[in-house]
Every structure is written in C-alpha cells, then in structure tokens.
A and B are shown apart, each in its own frame.
Chain A
Amino acid sequence: MSREKPSSDGSPVSEAFSELIRQCGEKAYNLAYRLSGNEPDARDLVQEAFVRAYAHFETYDEKRPFETWLFRILHNIYLDGVRRYAHGHTVSLDAPSPVEDSAWEEILTGEDPEPAAGMMREETAGLVQKALNAIPVHYRTAIALCDIEGLSYEEIGKIMSCPVGTVRSRVHQGRVLLRRAFEDLEKGGRLQ
C-alpha cells in the first residue's frame, strides 16, 4: 500500500486510504458502538480514530493488519475519554459504562405477538448492548473483540496493549459478568 498522504489543502483523500476506510469502517464503527453504547459517541470515536490513523500513517507497520492498528487507536481514544469523564465524576475503568439503565420493557418495545425478524434482531441487539454497558470497560472490550469481531487472544492483546494471559482472564471474567447481566435483565427487568 502506498504511504502517500494527501495534502491538507482540500485535495481528495488518497485512494488507498479511502479503501481502508471502506474496508474497516464498519468493523470500527461496530466496536465503537459496543464500547460507547450509543451512535453519536460511536460516530465521533470512529472519525477521530481514522483522523489519527491518517495523521500518523507513517508510523503504521505495513506487515501488520491495518485493522488491528486502527482498533488499538480507537480503543485508546475511548479510554482517554473514559478517563477524562472519570476525572470529573466518580467512576473508574472498572465501573460499568456511564450509560443510563433501562428497564427490560423499554428494550422489548412493541406488543406484537409475532414481531418481524428484523425487530427481533433489534431487540436482541438492544438487550446485548444493555448487558455490555453493565460490564467494566476492559472486560467489555475483550469480549466484544473476541465474540463479535472473532479476534484471537493475541490480536486482542495487541489492541489492548496487554499480555495474552491478561486477555484470557478478561475474556473469562467478561463472559461471567455478561451472563449475570443477561440473567439480571431477564429476571428483574433492570441491571443490578
């Protein structure tokens, strides 16, 4: 891939970088959404990640997958945001996402006894996101990368800047917490 960068005087983005945006944009957006839990923050995260990747493109090692590098940038931007938020609030990286809880009934909208498949998928996705939001950031990132993106522990370790042993522990703990969150949502309607 060419490392040529377009100038900042309004000329179009290089074809190579545009292709990377098209290839990795959806995965990056999905990870951003799973981490932040809402569309506006996910949009900002993805945009900022691509802007930084573009600005530091010279430092990208072509032998490694661009996607892993981009995810690492995105994850760091998200952690910076959480730390800045935590600085002014009483939350930490070990706390659940600062997203308002919703009742089970709010997630399962509609009373149609035979809802369309699309609506079922939306409801399932909404429930999953609620459960994910209840999990501390490190565990949430690990299981989102593992179970949704299907990355190996080694790739997750590169993205999260930690050893494989730590990834193994975070994935397991995250999955245990996720299962509890699902149970809480289904039993009580609200997360504990």
Chain B
Amino acid sequence: MNHEEALLSAYLDDELSVQEKARVDAHLGVCPDCRRELEGLGKAKKRLAGAGRRAMPPDLIADIESRLVKPWRARWFPVLGRPQVLIPAGMLAAAGLIVGLWMGLTSREPDQYVPLEPLLAAHARYEAESLVPEDNMVADSYSLHVANADGGDSQQ
C-alpha cells in the first residue's frame, strides 16, 4: 500500500492541489492507518490552535515607541555598557597603562656626570674665607686678607 503520510498535514491545511487532494481522499478510503494518522495530526493542530495567542504585556507598545525615538547616544550606551564591550576595553586600557609605565622606566637616561673639581675648589675657597676674622669682613680688605692667608699658608 502506498501511504500518503507526508501529504496528510497539507491535506488538513487545505494546501494540496486538486489532483493531490483526490489522491489522498482515495487513499484514506482504503487505509485505516492513514485515517488514524490524520486524526492524530488533526488533534495536535487543534490543540495548538486552541492555545490561542499570548496577551501582549500592556507596557510593551510604549517600550517599543520609546526605543524608536531615543537619541543615538541613548541607543548606543547600552551597547557600550555591555560586559562584552566593557571587559575587553578595560583589559586594553590596563595593558596600555602597563606598557606605558614599562616604556617610561626603561627609556630613562642615565644620570649626568657631575664634575667634582669645581665643587672641591669651591669647598677650598669656603675654608679659606672662614679664616678671615669677622671684624675684617669688609669689601676693601677681603681680597688682601685672602691673599695674606694664602701667602701665610704657603710660607708655613
């Protein structure tokens, strides 16, 4: 027996051509299995149709309309605020900070060479000046006293 199972749903939905419908009708007349199958499919269809539509939440229309009129910033902010965007962005920023710090530390120039001679000379002059008596620390005699002190040192 050539069963017509594959056509039974379309038969129920009235989606067969005239020829196909005639063929299925003829087959159903002689095939109790297909009649049972048709009955089962019909019950499933009826049950699904009988469930009816889910009522739409009353605030949904307002929600839809509010999404349609939002400025682009408001529409993009939720996207930018998502973890899929925030986490990579945070990781990128942290990596940039670490690289920046590392580059700053490694690219520092070595300490400049500081010649010691002028410092030592200045120190010697300070010591020499301290030998000048406090009451003679005047502009006119200052050089003479320094000269005398140098001369005295060299004579000793």
Residues of chain A touching chain B, judged by Cβ–Cβ distance below 8 Å, are 6, 8-13, 17-18, 21-22, 25-27, 29-30, 33-34, 39, 42-43, 46-47, 50-51, 54, 121, 124-125, 128-129, 132, 143-144, 146-148, 150, 152-153, 168-169, 171-172, 175-176, 178-179, 182
Contacts and interface: CB of A to CB of B under 8 A. Distances in A.
B8 to A, nearest CB: 7
Interface of B: 5-6, 8-10, 13, 15, 40-41, 43-45, 47-57, 60-61, 63-65, 67-72
A27 B53 contact: yes
20 contacts: A8-B69, A8-B70, A8-B71, A10-B71, A11-B69, A12-B69, A13-B65, A47-B63, A124-B50, A128-B51, A132-B48, A143-B45, A148-B48, A152-B15, A171-B10, A172-B9, A175-B44, A175-B45, A178-B48, A179-B43
Contact of A25 (B47, B50, B56): B56
B139 to A, nearest CB: 81
A124 B56 CA distance: 18
Contacts of B40: 179
Q: Which 8 A-B pairs have the closest CB atoms?
A: A172-B9, A128-B51, A179-B44, A147-B48, A30-B53, A29-B56, A26-B56, A33-B54
B69 A13 contact: yes
A9 B68 CA distance: 10
Contact of A147 (B45, B54, B55, B69): B45
Nearest to B11: A172
Contacts of A46: 60, 64
A148 B9 contact: no
A40 to B, nearest CB: 10
Contacts of A153: 10, 13, 15
